[in-house]
Structure 1
């Protein structure tokens, strides 16, 4: 059974989401501040974390900064409606997706299923993807450049898989959004661009322009 951690200080919202997600076959734990989120992550294994940005004791962005040393579990952020800055910062810190509050439980379930489906689909691919200097172990979800491990988030790994599968061709933003984020590209949604920018910075020690932006078309992996 898929196990979710709901981190939010709005107890009414947590109860609503808990009931809805449980009725759709998920198992949920709740944490009402940042400290509780970190404590539960240290003592439990989750398939996904839903994390509110505004929480007492330790805010969601501070929790995100600590997560890479604790777990590789994917994260969906809950952000205030229209607060694009928090969304961008959260994605830059490694969150896999976001949803604005007040959130529709049905939409959240769809986002959860999309993130988990993406990871599950890639985990079923047992053949490592190798191209020149880049190697992607899809079983253990490990990325190596020139034989050296490179720490990437789950979404960044999926993005590399998608770009590598294009074998140097330009991948359109529409295709990447459907393939990596499991949703249609929306005009004001900058999630994909932020993930690409973060991944590009990680690869720049190995190449000046590892992921080329082709105006009006999309992105091309040139590493």
Structure 2
């Protein structure tokens, strides 16, 4: 009986911790977007989230720790402790032998991430201008994004799916440029595109830039026989 009570207590404690983390992250997101990173204090986040300051520091260590948790949640879409490249959907995309489906899936993946994370990325970029630790976090986030996209360029190159004159490095550069937060911000946030239109555009331009044009069979011998 004592073991079951202890186990229940542990589960209850874990549930309370997750609720507290979620409340802090939600409050921080709203405050960062409303006031900016520099003007938001741990004390204000604590007050809005109704989580004591000591608990906030215990869970996140610092305001930058909160921002990092917010970024992780925004990119992944949940708080599971599984890195994005290791998630089944990403692994399935990289293993897909149809390059058009692979790039279409990549566009959908990027759209989902950007729709959640682009506003938070903007916060980080702003913070990086004055905070060296935020600048280091931005550099690491950029490195991770580039590493993830390099896997798609490598997969396409290994299967011989790229245009004949395109090197793997060129494909990597194209993918990184087209899927960047800056392009999403320009088209969706600044120019008013819907996320759906962005995804369709991204799919079409990735396929057009990376894969050989489909063979035109309408003029092939016997095509009209």
Q: What TM-score do you get using the length of structure 2 for normalisation? A: 0.27
Higher CA-based Rg: 2
Q: Relative contact order: is structure 1 or structure 2 higher (C-alpha 8 Å, sep ≥ 6)? A: 2
Q: What TM-score do you get using the length of structure 1 for normalisation? A: 0.28
